[in-house]
Amino acid sequence: MFSLFVFSVYLLIVISLLWGRLRFFKVNAGTPTLAAWMYDLAVAVQMILTAYYFFSVTDVTKLMLGICLLLYLFSLVLFWWAIFTAKSLDFAFSNHVGSIVTTGPFGLFRHPFYVSYIVAWSGSTLLFNTPLLWITLIYLVAFYTLSARKEERLILKSTQAEQYQHYQQHVGMFLPRIKKWKQLNSKH
């Protein structure tokens, strides 16, 4: 029963991510088609294998299911918090610089969507611990890292470079800088 509940939360993540990919994120002409297809393939492998393992792997402990559930819930909450904070964003590898969002989850992580995805895929990978899930997780983390760096290089070449440099100094890419965040928020 607990496993079914964790799987239900996982399904909410899958539906949310698919909705975001199709409805929220803009795919600009600057997005290399091969990169987008490789990303989609890796995500599909993660999604399909995880769903398959939920129904075929029987030796998962309640502790691991509980840890995975916490990771899934964090991922889901972070994803939707970022959706409601940002109005729309460009898909990874875009050549377009939109507005800089620094509130909500963007005040904790410069790339909360990527953090959300990494946490969800990590939950599945840790829970089922299979080579193919590890390979896709490593690929996806590399993809998110490269995407984040490219996005930031574009912003640093734009008219918003100074504002973004200040933001970079206070907010971590994928991990929060708690001390800097506390200092920044205590001044307000």
**Which tens digits make up the pLDDT trace of 3-60?**
999 999 999 999 999 898 787 776 555 556 787 788 889 999 999 999 999 999 988 9
The tally of CA atoms less than 13 A away on the side-chain side of residue 36 is 16
Say how far apart CA 104 and CA 96 lie, in whole Å: 22
Residue 170, phi then psi, degrees to nearest 5:
-110, -20
Task: Tell me the sheet residues that pair with 89.
Answer: 25
Do 166 and 175 form a contact (C-beta atoms < 8 A)?
no
Say how far apart CA 99 and CA 102 lie, in whole Å: 10
**Which tens digits make up the pLDDT trace of 90-101?**
544 445 556 778
